[in-house]
């Protein structure tokens, strides 16, 4: 069985995340959507809220399982039996950042491969960070997040 992990903070999940996941489904038998806890980021949603939001977005996709984890992502891959890690690339700077992490992960656990999927051009400017900023200042984020995520975001600032 070919298993992958798509790690992230998903605070909140965006249409860009959804696109990368949907395009990854044909490549793997099972994909874990891993919500990692990152102490350097100021979260808008709790980990539990993010987990419920992602479950709502993908409620009809049996190949996906949503999980939370702490610690090194590459170690979590090994723990769940994932041989691949999926990463979305929006920009050249994303590539440079992700390449460095992938090389470090490969040095730590060589059997886990990083797979980079380039975002579609219409999604290259969408990030959770920008969506959080729009939310904080009362803007409408409906065009940036999946419709199933909206109820989790109403009234947040």
Which residues define the annotated binding site for substrate? 9, 41, 73, 87
Residues annotated catalytic, as ranges: 17, 41, 90, 128
CA 75, 29, 53 angle in degrees (round to 5)?
70
Taken in order 27, 12, 40, 79, is the CA torsion positive or negative? Answer: negative
The tokens describing 88, both together, are 């979305």
Cβ 23 vs Cβ 50: under 8 Å = no
Q: Which residues are annotated as a binding site for ATP?
A: 9-10, 17, 88-90, 98, 123-129
d(CA 121, CA 90): 8
Q: 21: Cβ–Cβ under 8 A, 6 or more apart, which residues? A: 6, 31, 33, 58, 64, 86
Q: Which residues are annotated as a binding site?
A: 9-10, 17, 41, 73, 87-90, 98, 123-129
């Amino acid at each position: 069985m070919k298993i992958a992990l798509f790690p992230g903070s998903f605070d909140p999940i965006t249409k860009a995340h959804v696109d990368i996941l949907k395009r990854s489904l044909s490549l793997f038998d099972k994909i874990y959507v891993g919500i990692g806890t990152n102490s350097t980021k100021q979260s808008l949603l709790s980990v539990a809220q993010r987990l419920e939001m992602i479950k709502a977005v993908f409620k009809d996709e049996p190949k996906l399982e949503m999980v939370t984890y702490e610690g090194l992502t590459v170690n979590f891959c090994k723990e769940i039996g994932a041989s691949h890690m999926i990463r979305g690339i929006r920009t050249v700077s994303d590539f440079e950042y992700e390449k460095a992490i992938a090389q470090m992960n490969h040095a730590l656990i060589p059997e886990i491969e990083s797979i980079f999927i380039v975002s579609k051009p219409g999604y290259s400017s969408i990030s959770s960070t920008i969506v959080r900023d729009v939310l904080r200042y009362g803007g409408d984020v409906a065009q940036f997040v999946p419709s199933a995520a909206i109820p989790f975001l109403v009234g947040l600032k």
